[in-house]
Amino acid sequence: MKRMASILLLGMLLAPMGFAQSDLQPAAIVRLTKSEPITVKQYRTEVERMERQAGRALDAAERRQVLDVMINEKLAIQAAERDKIVVSDNEINQQIQQLRASLVQQVGRQPTDAEFAIAVRNETGLEIPAFREQLRRQLITQKYLLAKKENLFKSITAPTETEILNAYALTKTKYIRPETVRFSMIAVPYGSDSGAKAKAKELADRLIREIGSNPAKFDEAVIRGQSPSAGYQAGDGGYLPRNLEAQQIAGQDFINTAFSLKQGEVSKLIEGIGGYQIIKVTETYEQKSLELDDVIQPGTRITVREYIRNAMLQERQQAVLARATQELVTELRAGNPFQIFESNLKW
């Protein structure tokens, strides 16, 4: 019995070691310039990250595609290192600053480090150190691709005026600007319970009594709303098109009210989604079929012509990028400078 107990205890102690060893076994080994493994743990971690982003389990073919991408990346990085292509910390920091700038546009202020880390985690499933490493690998791969396929990228030409005119002739029926208004808004959030909602209604009623239909009084209330102690929010509400998407976001009563007002008029009190609102229309635009030199969306300077040119150019760039990537992958994989361990790919 003592011997059996010892054997069972030894088995319990060795079992975790077996799992750890399995994690460290290679899913693949890349050998372009040096022997570098992709461990089962690395492969599984990447598959699980992709599954979280997709919101579902990946099938066998999709899992294999993940491994192929990992192999291709290692091949490209080894080739880049061989050709002395590097990425500096400053280049990585510039990319991160661009991502921060895009987040500023979404939240209307500079995000804290913690908020930025949460946004990165939600978008990529990675913590900041791992995200920086992923950025480094991506930038090295991009630099190597651009260097090796420079002639292909140089072959991209901008669309001609004739090509733009032809594209517009085929698609002009989609360039219709819906009836649109720009508005300023005073918003009193509901709060999380009936007591908070009643308090918000009391403040909203007081504001509408003070403002009435007077645009100047509305503007004064907007200025007061910039104070953190105002108890409500106020400012430019942006441009609102009259379509189903906008109605789903703002609510039917809000849309109907906004488009019943003339420029400069103040609305009644609106019980909207998430709060009470008072608005003043500051600009109005009728529905219009857009010509090539018309601005495609109020508040921007991009014309239909520029929009079509940019879309056509981006399509050409994407096609060349796909071709260059496929050519590079074929070249890097020539001679099979990697080995896949099929028996280690299941868990």
Q: With bands split at pLDDT 50, 70 and 90, how would you rate the model's confidence at 7?
A: very low
> From CA 307, how far away is CA 193, in angstroms rounded?
46
Q: What's the pLDDT tens digit per position in 173-192?
A: 999 999 999 999 999 998 77
DSSP state of 55: T
pLDDT tens by residue, 57-86:
999 999 999 999 999 999 999 999 999 999
The two structure tokens encoding residue 252: 């039917």
* Torsions phi, psi for 299 (to 5 deg): 95, -5
pLDDT surpasses 50 at 14: no
What topology is assigned to 176-289 in CATH? Chitinase A; domain 3 (3.10.50)
Output the pLDDT for position 24: 87
Using the predicted structure, report yes or no on whether residue 102 has a pLDDT greater than 90.
no
More confident residue, 314 or 112: 314
Q: Where in the chain is the domain with CATH 1.10.4030.10?
A: 20-152+325-344
Both tokens of 276, joined, read: 């009470």
Residue 52 has pLDDT above 80, yes or no: yes
Per-residue pLDDT tens digits for 111-130 = 889 989 999 998 888 999 99
pLDDT at 108: 67
- For the stretch 273-304, pLDDT in tens is 889 999 999 999 999 999 999 999 898 899 99
Q: Which residues of the chain are in CATH 3.10.50.40 domains?
A: 176-289
Residue 1, pLDDT > 70, answer no
Cα 223 to Cα 186: distance, rounded to the nearest angstrom: 10
Task: Provide the angle, in degrees to the nearest 10, between the axes of the packed helices 40-54 and 2-24.
Answer: 70
Q: 132-179 pLDDT, tens per residue?
A: 999 999 999 999 999 999 999 999 999 999 999 999 999 999 999 999
Contact 231, 191 (CB under 8 A): no
Distances (CA, A) of 294 to 181, 205, 297: 17, 42, 9
Cβ-contact 243, 179 below 8 angstroms: no
Q: In CATH terms, is domain 20-152+325-344 a member of 1.10.4030.10?
A: yes
Q: Which residues contact 33 (CB under 8 A, 6 or more apart)?
A: 78, 79, 81, 82
What is the reported pTM?
0.72
pLDDT in tens, 220-235: 999 999 888 898 999 9
Residue type, 238: G
